[in-house]
A = this chain, B = another copy of it.
Amino acid sequence: MDDDALLAEQMAYYRAGAAEYDRPYAECEALQELLAAVDELPIAGDVLELACGTGQWTPRLAARARSVTAVDAAAEVLALARARTVSTTVQFFEADLFGWQPPRRYDTVFFAFWLSHVPLTRLPDFWNTVAAALAPGGKAIFVDDGPAAAAFEEVLANQPAPAALRRLDDGSQYRIVKVFRDAQALTDDLTRLGWSVHIRTMAGNFIGIAEPPTSPG
């Protein structure tokens, strides 16, 4: 068979997709920048990690913490996280974060790429849970996608919460919650709930540090 048509189609792909070709490089650069920035944050003491997923961030927390308690709702990701994590100061456990109450208080509550999966209507409860998990002087530290990431999602209309469609390798499709808040909206959300918050945007992502209301609001 002649491969001319295939080669022409290959060239058409690279011409039409020129603007998309850089994405893996750009995403990698943004991730590296984010990882480096997180390594500079005041993560210390006993750390609670919410929605730890496959434990990509857990070892970085463990390197700076006295202990890490890492929670996720999905047994499958926890299994991968446990396999990845060698530190003896890390404990994983399974819990659905919606409705969950922390069993004790921590110096740092950390969550990476989780806040954007919490429906807006559940944010007040979520932040109350975080506040209940923080020891006096403790801080919530979180990273997530900024609004620019919406361009790379299949955003869905008419859902009970802002949502996007995700596809797995086997072709299966799932709706997920995906709320894109910019730094100002997020600051306003938290300020309204009585938190002190500082949000830094960087390369499409943001890093937030927040302290809960000191007295019942």
Contacts from A to B (Cβ < 8 Å): 1-3, 5-7, 9-22, 24-25, 27-28, 31-32, 53-54, 56, 73-77, 79-80, 96, 98, 117, 119, 121-122, 152, 159-161, 163, 166, 168-169, 172, 174-177
Contacts and interface: CB of A to CB of B under 8 A. Distances in A.
A95 to B, nearest CB: 12
Contact of A14 (B17, B77, B98): B77
Q: So how many copies of this chain end up in the complex? A: 2
B161 A6 contact: yes
A50 to B, nearest CB: 13
Give the interface centre of A166, A172, A174 by most chain B CB atoms within 10 Å: A174
B74 A11 contact: yes
B56 A25 contact: yes
Interface majority SS on A: helix, strand, loop or mixed?
Answer: helix
A3 B160 contact: yes
Contact of A177 (B6, B16, B163): B6
A52 to B, nearest CB: 11
A20 B77 CA distance: 10
A21 B54 contact: yes
A102 to B, nearest CB: 19
16 contacts: A2-B160, A3-B122, A3-B177, A6-B176, A9-B175, A11-B73, A12-B174, A14-B73, A14-B76, A15-B74, A16-B76, A18-B76, A18-B80, A21-B54, A21-B77, A22-B80
Contacts of A16: 76, 168, 172, 174
A6 B53 contact: no
Contact of A6 (B5, B22, B80, B175): B175
